[in-house]
Chains A and B, each alone.
Chain A
Amino acid sequence: MNYIEPHGHMVSRTTDDYERMAIAGCQAICEPAFWAGFDRASADGFYDYFRQITEYEPKRAAKFGIQHYSWLCINPKEAEDLALADDVIALIPQFIDKPGVLGIGEIGLNKNSRNELKIFEQHVQVAQDYDALVLIHTPHLEDKLKGTRLIVEALKNFPKIKPERVIIDHVEEHTIDHVLDHGFWAGITLYPESKCTPNRAIDMLEQRHAEQIWMNSACDWGISDPLAVPKTMQAMRQRGWTTEMIQRVAWDNPRKFMGQCEKFKL
């Protein structure tokens, strides 16, 4: 069955991964800008990274018949350095009109600091100025609850940002209701250790009737599985899900959210 991988850091993955994803039915991969596993020394590092995700990765994906889209920002892990963050945000206008760029992301918080919050708000302002979609990363583990609440609070100061054009990613059982009840989309990340297993993801999908939710592997340079989405689709089958409902989560939902940007054509 065809599916969309709405969150994959393919710069960290091998070409073999593209091939395996294509064989599993992946038709499109969306790549948010994120941490590269190390702190970049200057905005030049981000300039090259933005070129990589907007120019080079789409070509690599196309060899396997996969569409590749991207999102731009400086991620919260590197946003503690305000001067660097300003320089990187200043690069966004050069790239935002490129064919596969869907919006601003993955912005958000990491350790819930004042500087992270400040840079988050600057990015939301850019998204508002360009009427762009927004993809938000929520912090890990013990920091997730607080970070999710701070993010939802901060978004209230941007009345022109419509909740249905924002996805708040990496939700878990203690944050999903807060996100969906405020009208935002929610992303569930299938990560072997630190985020969510297929069964927990399916539990949450059932509780919320799979509305305004997508699931992703967030595969990156860490322990992660680029085939987590098709594996979860298989687990849905074993749990009695109909083909139509599996397709709604793996295909219709991400297509509906990203289709709000006219550049997303699938």
Chain B
Amino acid sequence: MPDWTPPTQVNLVDLGFMDSRSKLIDLAAFLDRVQRAGQEGDFRVQALKNAIALLSQDQPQRAKDVLLSFSDPSSTPVEKAAMQGAIGAYKK
């Protein structure tokens, strides 16, 4: 495989700040909305809150850690597929 040429440096904050800001406010509003509706006990909302806590770490592997926090940690196959789809968060 030929050598890797890194991209020329661009201002990634210019490129991504407004989009991230918007997604963060959307997330905040979602938490407000489910709380007002009394639905914050849902395990998926709890999973989101657990994942949010991982954002304040120092290492640049937040995306990986968030994905790991939503994942089924077990390692043996299940006896039978009870459904076809997935939910997005592992129910303990």
Binding site for B on A (CB under 8 A): 77, 80, 110-117, 139-146, 149-150, 172-174, 194, 199-200, 203, 206, 209-212, 236, 238-242, 244-245, 248
Contacts and interface: CB of A to CB of B under 8 A. Distances in A.
A245 B7 contact: yes
B67 interface: yes
A143 B2 CA distance: 35
Interface string B12-41: 100110000000000000000000000000
Contacts of A199: 16
A177 B84 CA distance: 27
A156 to B, nearest CB: 14
For the complex of A and B, the 6 pairs showing the least CB-CB separation, nearest first, are: A240-B7, A111-B81, A209-B4, A240-B8, A141-B86, A145-B71
Contacts of B78: 111-114
Contacts of B67: 144-145, 172-174
Nearest to B83: A111
A238 B9 CA distance: 10
A142 B63 contact: no
Contact of B72 (A115, A146, A200, A210): A146
Interface residues of B, number: 37
Contacts of B5: 242, 244-245
B71 A111 contact: no
Contact of A141 (B7, B9, B74, B88): B88
20 contacts: A112-B77, A113-B81, A114-B79, A114-B80, A115-B81, A142-B71, A142-B87, A142-B88, A142-B90, A143-B71, A145-B67, A145-B72, A145-B73, A172-B67, A173-B61, A174-B64, A203-B63, A209-B4, A210-B4, A238-B15
Contacts of B45: none
Contacts of B86: 111, 139-143
Contact of A116 (B6, B9, B81): B81
B89 interface: yes
A265 to B, nearest CB: 22
A206 B77 contact: no
B7 A211 contact: no
Interface string B50-92: 0000000000010110011011111101111111111111100
Interface of B: 1-2, 4-10, 12, 15-16, 61, 63-64, 67-68, 70-75, 77-90
Contacts of B8: 240, 242
A200 B75 CA distance: 27
B75 A114 contact: no
Contacts of A172: 67
Nearest to B68: A174
B15 to A, nearest CB: 6
A150 B74 CA distance: 10
Contacts of B87: 141-142
Contact of B9 (A114, A173, A240, A248): A240
A114 B81 CA distance: 8
B4 to A, nearest CB: 4
Nearest to A154: B77
A114 B67 CA distance: 24
Contacts of A174: 64, 67-68, 71
Contacts of A143: 71-72, 86
A80 B72 contact: no
